[in-house]
Amino acid sequence: MWKSKERRISLLRYWTTRYAITLALGLLILAMLSVVWIRHTTIENRLDVSEFLAAELAIRIAGSQLNGNESKTYIDDDMIDARDELMNMKAPPSIYITDATGVILSASDHDVYSKDSFPYVILKKNRDVQTFPSIDDNHTLVYLIKKPITVNEVTFGWVVMLQPEDEFADLNDEYRLLALLILGSGLLGWAAIYILSRRLARPISEAAAAAKEIRAGNYSVSLMPSKAKEQEVYDLVTSFNDMAIRLEQLESIRAELLAGVTHELKTPVTSISGLLQAVKDGVVTGDEVQEFITISLNETERMQTMINDLLEFNTFAANALPVSTAPHEANTLTRDIVHEWNLARNSDGIPVHFHSSGHDLYILTDPVRFRQIMMNLLNNAAHAIEGAGGITVRMHDDGGYASIDVIDTGVGIPVTEQTLIFERFYRGENKKFKVRGLGLGLPFSQLLARAMDGDLTLKETSQLGTTFTLTAKKQR
C-alpha cells in the first residue's frame, strides 16, 4: 500500500509550536504598539508636569517681586527634586530666569544652552512648549517650556526650562516592566496551551493506540471515559468503546454466520447427491425413484432460490439493481399483497387482519420491490408465531409518509438480537434451526425501503409479539 512520505508531528508539538509562534508575533506587535503609546503618553505627562513647575516658579518669582525681594537667582531646588521624583527622571531640567527681552538673569545649568539670552521671537510665541535643535549640537532635539513672570498684568521676565529629548524620553524602567509583562504573558500563554494540548492529545493518542490493537484483531481494548472531563472527548471515548464492543460482536458472529451460510448451501447439495446416488445404484425402485427425483428437484429449487437471493442482495448492495418509483395507492396495493400472501403462502391458515387508513394514500414506490418487502415481513411474522395467533397489517398516515405496521403475536425478539436483525446473514436463535435461509430477508428489505426514500424499522417487540414498520414517501 502506498503511504504518504509527508512527515507527521505529534498533536502536542503541532499546537504548542504554532501557538507559540502566533503568540510571539502577537505579543511583538503588542509590544511595539505599547512602546509607541508609553513613549507618547509619558512625554506628554512629563511636559505637563514641567509646564506646571515653570508656572509655579513664575508665580513665586512674581510674588517675591511684589514683596520687595529683588533676588534674581530664585530657583526652588525642592520643587525640582519633587518634579524629578514624580516623573521618575534622573537628570533635572535646566532652568533659566530672563528679563522681558530674553536676557538670562539666572541659570541652573549652562550645559544645554550657553548663550546669554533667548531669541525674543521664541519667547513671544503662543505655545508654551516648543522644540528646537540644540545650539551646542550636544543633543539632536531640546524641549523648551516657558512661562511669563507677570506682575500687575505686566510681563517683566520669563521662566524657561530646557531638557534634551533623550532625557525626557528616558523610559528604561517602563520598558523593563513592559518586557517583563510581555515575557510573562508569553510564558503563561505557552504553558496554558501546552497543558491543554497535552490533555487533549492524551485521549486521542490512547484512542489511536487502541485502534491499532483493533486493526491487529484484538477487540478487547477499552478506554476509560471517566477520565474525560470534556464532553467531546467523553463522546469520542464512549463511541470508541461502543464501536469496539460492536466489532467484537460482529467478529464473533462472522464465523458463525459463514458456517451457517455454508451449511444452508451444503445441506441441499448433500441431499441431492445422496438421493441421486441411491437412484443410480438401484437402491430404490419403482415409485420411490420418482419420489427421490421429485425431492431432489425441490432441494435444487430451494438452493437456487437461496443463491438468487444472495446474488440479488449483492447486486442491490452494489447499486446495480435499479428501482423505479411511481405513485400508487397504498391501501389498495397493500391489501392485494396481503390477499395474495394469504392465498398462496399461508399454508398454516394463520388469521390475517388488514386495517386501511380510512382514506386514499398515494405513495411513491416500486410495486415489485414493495411486494418483496411485504412478502418477507409476512413470512417472518408467520415464522414467529407458535401455536395460536394471528397477523395484523395496519395502515397509518404520518404526514409526509405512509406507515405500514406488520404485527405478529409471536414470541418476540430477544434483547441481545434486536440490534443484529438487520445485519446481513444474521439469523436469530429461534429461526436458526426452524427456518432455512441465508438471513438476507430483513437486510435486503431495509435496503429496498431506503432506496425508495422510505425505511424499515423494528418498532417494538416483546413476548406478546413484534411490530415492524415500513414507511413510504407520500406523493406531494
Tell me, what CATH number does 379's domain have? 3.30.565.10
- Rounded average pLDDT over 290-319: 71
pLDDT band at 236 (very low <50, low <70, confident <90, very high): confident
The closest of 187, 191, 192, 133 to 164, measured between CA atoms, is: 133
38/116 same-domain check = yes
66/94 same-domain check = yes
User: In the chain, how long is the greatest CA-to-CA distance?
Assistant: 161
pLDDT for 334:
93
Residue 125 resides in a domain: yes
Residue 184 resides in a domain: no
In a 13 Å sphere around the CA of 63, the CA atoms on its Cβ side amount to: 6
Query: pLDDT for 88-122, tens place per residue?
Result: 556 677 888 888 888 888 887 767 777 888 888 88
Choose one of 268, 287, 320: the last residue of a domain: 320
The closest of 232, 417, 255, 201 to 240, measured between CA atoms, is: 232
In the predicted structure, residue 3 carries a pLDDT above the cut 50: no
Residue 198 resides in a domain: no
Residue 124 resides in a domain: yes
Residue 372 resides in a domain: yes
Residue 187 resides in a domain: no
299/342 same-domain check = no
Identify the residue with better confidence: 311 or 432: 311
- Rounded average pLDDT over 221-227: 72
Choose one of 265, 291, 320: the last residue of a domain: 320
Residue 181 resides in a domain: no
- Rounded average pLDDT over 348-370: 89
- Give the span between the Cα atoms of 252 and 256, in whole angstroms: 7
355/369 same-domain check = yes
String of DSSP letters for 349-412: ---EEEE--SS--EEEE-HHHHHHHHHHHHHHHHHH--SS--EEEEEEEETTEEEEEEEE-S--
pLDDT for 260:
57
C-beta of residue 100 within 8 angstroms of C-beta of residue 157: yes
Choose one of 145, 174, 203: the last residue of a domain: 174
pLDDT for 218:
78
459/333 same-domain check = yes
Percent share of the chain, pLDDT over 70: 78
CATH number at residue 84: 3.30.450.20
Q: How far is CA 170 from CA 39, 137, 201, 470, in A?
A: 9, 19, 47, 84
C-alpha cell at 333: 396495493
Pairing of strands 352-355, 391-398: parallel
In the predicted structure, residue 1 carries a pLDDT above the cut 50: no
pTM: 0.45
287/343 same-domain check = no
- Rounded average pLDDT over 281-310: 75
Residue 195 resides in a domain: no
108/88 same-domain check = yes
Show Cβ contacts of residue 334 under 8 Å, excluding neighbours closer than 6 positions.
354, 374, 393, 395, 404
145/103 same-domain check = yes
Residue 394 one-letter amino acid = R
407/420 same-domain check = yes
329/259 same-domain check = no
Structural domain of 396: 322-473
- Give the span between the Cα atoms of 355 and 109, in whole angstroms: 114
> Backbone phi, then psi, for 301, in 5-degree steps?
-65, -40
In the predicted structure, residue 77 carries a pLDDT above the cut 70: no
Give the number of domains in the chain.
3
Show Cβ contacts of residue 44 under 8 Å, excluding neighbours closer than 6 positions.
none
308/354 same-domain check = no
327/450 same-domain check = yes
CATH number at residue 310: 1.10.287.130
Q: What angle do CA 418, 422, 427 make, to 5 degrees?
A: 75
